[in-house]
Structure 1
């Protein structure tokens, strides 16, 4: 029974890493990050492929752009009943984005391609912290590829959409409470990749008073991991309970998102935006695993989860100078998705606020440089995790600088 509990706790964690609200990265464009992650009601650059495909046809130029937003997640854990504090190691994840937009100028159509990372994470708690049996390290990526078509129906109304292909990968390690002859813990590594499919659609409305209205829907993406590797280093006396080699199958539903955005241009230099984002996290009801090799200790598992839907609220502004400079600022508030009992050390989900800033420079007629920075503060949260009984208080911060380069013609 003890062996079975160990394995259930170990293997139940894999899909959970995808659904912590903290893993919804969405660093899809530097202009939009600088303005508080707003973009659904704006026409700015190729990142509209992500924020609202209906706005792509309104872009004045063809363009190619690429950006990267190095993400540093720092978290501290204070175990219940203790004065000890464990800090995660400083690791830098590198979510990126790339967009290409093409079509005749002032035409009724444009096409594009977007490549971006809406989910991801990189954290390392080391192998000697109190929660090592829950997690030691994690490297997670979900890379979306989105070909897109955008059509202007009349001077005020346009629509767009695109097919989404996801390539996801995960590498997770944790300790197993089975010591060898030298007293060292066993080790487990869960590693796999999979594919998923979905779509992204949007509509964009221009009014005669300078107000733009955007609505965007990004569908759920059902990602399937086939032949994921479960690798174990355990004492020889219990090796038979950890069949090697072994593989597993698992389904991961990345949730749908719906965003309503408003954009308003005031006089010549000011641009304001507000977005309200709704994420349908309640698709994450349970974890289910099908293992290729079973033993009395390792059976196919079904572990219930009860995530809830969540909103985020975003606002930002931009001031443009006639000297080719633009300055941006914004912020927002994100509601937690993980309910009590389901918070894990991959990224301890909690209500959070963030502040952003950015600057853009038009270096030449055809070349733009955009910089952004985001600071995200998670509210401290005291939890006892149902799966592992890890109990304590998490305090976390996220730092995200970014840069993008755009060539347009």
Structure 2
């Protein structure tokens, strides 16, 4: 019985909108181009996407925005364990935000320097199943948020070459609810943990030929091994079992945010049209298992056995009017999750996604950007003889994003 509080922890993680528990870049310009614009950064958001591009800023640049994520999955009883019924997650929005500031200036030696910082939510998961659904003893609720905080800089060492990098701090919070059946006595348990770790970012951006408007960018973010700690709570357990460890107790586990490598390119086809492409690789094979340690001296290891994931992206931006830009993008994400370890805490699969967006310059220096992103997950069926809760999952996700950007070179003109 003492292991029960650890068993509920084994339900983590939950589904995200991209591979593993990675969340797309919700900055509207990036989102509307399906995350393909790493080699075409033009705002303070480069502090996250590609720090080398901060050296292209002239003066002060600030970007802030918020998004709405609608993620839901429908489980179908394809194994006929619950009369063939289908259950859909409870609709509940998540609201990730972005906030970045950067400043760029020219140095006396002809080089350009840019510095930036900010915060966003690059990872997480959001699953809310009905409290009485057949899989409630696997999971009811998972709410995970991975906050990313960045302090980065970029240096243009010659007109066609930029380098950048800096510090990254990831901070994760998790909340889990799971039903428990104590020999016919229905109860539930909750687990809440949090913790963080420091990582780093390295990037570069080059224009191979002066006469060809082609830019190539590379960005690498190192893994962050986070040590999370918190408490487990049983809701109204049977009094007869409280003496067997079915009591509130501390719990800890280690969560690794994976290494990420991104290689992208942008090409100015004509003055009005920019085309972008990108490949993203995520080293999720480090996520082999969840190991949870309880305050009563017991531990539990849960197999995850992720493989590495990757994403192919293509996007474009068109200057339709002097003050209006329209954008679009598509992607194909290859999930790191294996069908053999699939369960309702992680109803994930390979994804096709498309996005649209606009940017409108309200006045010189002030711009509003908006984007819409839709992800079509491949239908996937839990497989394997050891699958604790078989079934088929059909998943969709929508993201709406809105941001305001402001820039000025006033501070430079005063010098």
Give the distance between the partners of 1:386 and 1:290, measured in 2 at CA.
Answer: 27
1:259 to 256, 259, 262: 262
1:352-363 mapped onto 2 (5 Å cutoff): 352-363=351-362
Q: CA deviation at 1:357?
A: 0.3
Matched, 1:159 2:190: no
TM-score scaled to structure 1, two decimals? 0.92
Aligned pair 1:69/2:67, yes or no? yes
Q: 1:242 and 1:87 mapped to 2: Cα distance? A: 34
Q: Distance in 2 between matches of 1:158 and 1:112?
A: 15
- RMSD over aligned Cα atoms: 2.1
Q: Secondary structure at the match of 1:348?
A: coil
- Deviation for aligned residue 1:105: 5.1
Task: Tell me if structure 2 keeps the 8 A contact 1:221–1:254.
Answer: yes
Displacement of 1:61? 4.1
Residue 103 and residue 8 in structure 1: after superposition, are their counterparts in 2 closer, same or farther (change >3 A)? Answer: closer
What does residue 176 of structure 1 align with?
A: 180
Q: Residue by residue, what CA displacement relative to the aligned partner does 1:362-385 show, whole Å, maximum 9, x if unpaired?
A: 001021000000000111111047
Q: TM-score under structure 2 normalisation?
A: 0.91
**Pair 1:385–1:408, CA change in 2 (3 A):** farther
Question: Does the aligned pair in 2 maintain the 1:269–1:320 contact within 8 Å?
Answer: yes
Report what 1:224 is aligned to: 227
Match of 2:128 in 1: 124
Task: Give the Å deviation of 1:339.
Answer: 1.1
The aligned counterpart of 2:242 is: 239
Gap regions ≥5 residues in structure 1: none
Alignment gaps of 5+ in structure 2: 409-415
Change (3 A) 1:19 1:224: farther
2:370 counterpart residue number: 371
Q: Tell me the alpha carbon deviations over residues 351-406 of structure 1, each in whole angstroms, 9 at most, x when there is no partner.
A: 11000000000001021000000000111111047876101000000000100101
Question: Paired residue for 1:195?
Answer: 196
Q: Distance in 1 between matches of 2:89 and 2:43?
A: 36
Query: Quick one: structure 1 residues 380 and 18, their matched pair in 2 at CA, closer, same or farther if it must change by over 3 Å?
Result: closer
Distance (whole Å) between structure 1 residues aligned to residue 314 and residue 43 of structure 2: 18
- Indicate which of 280, 284, 293 corresponds to 1:281: 284
- Which residues in structure 2 correspond to 1:6-405 (within 5 Å)? 9-14=7-12, 21=19, 23-79=21-77, 80-81=79-80, 82-104=83-105, 108-178=112-182, 185-206=186-207, 207-208=209-210, 209-226=212-229, 228-233=230-235, 234-294=237-297, 299-384=298-383, 389-405=388-404
CA contact (8 A) 1:42 1:273 kept: yes
Report the CA distance shift for 1:69/1:125 in structure 2 as closer, same or farther (over 3 A). Answer: same
Once the two structures are TM-superposed, the CA of residue 13 in structure 1 deviates from its matched residue by 2.2
For 1:339 and 1:123, the matched residues in 2 are separated by: 19
CA offset at residue 343 of structure 1?
1.4
Residue 158 of structure 2 aligns to a residue in which SS? coil
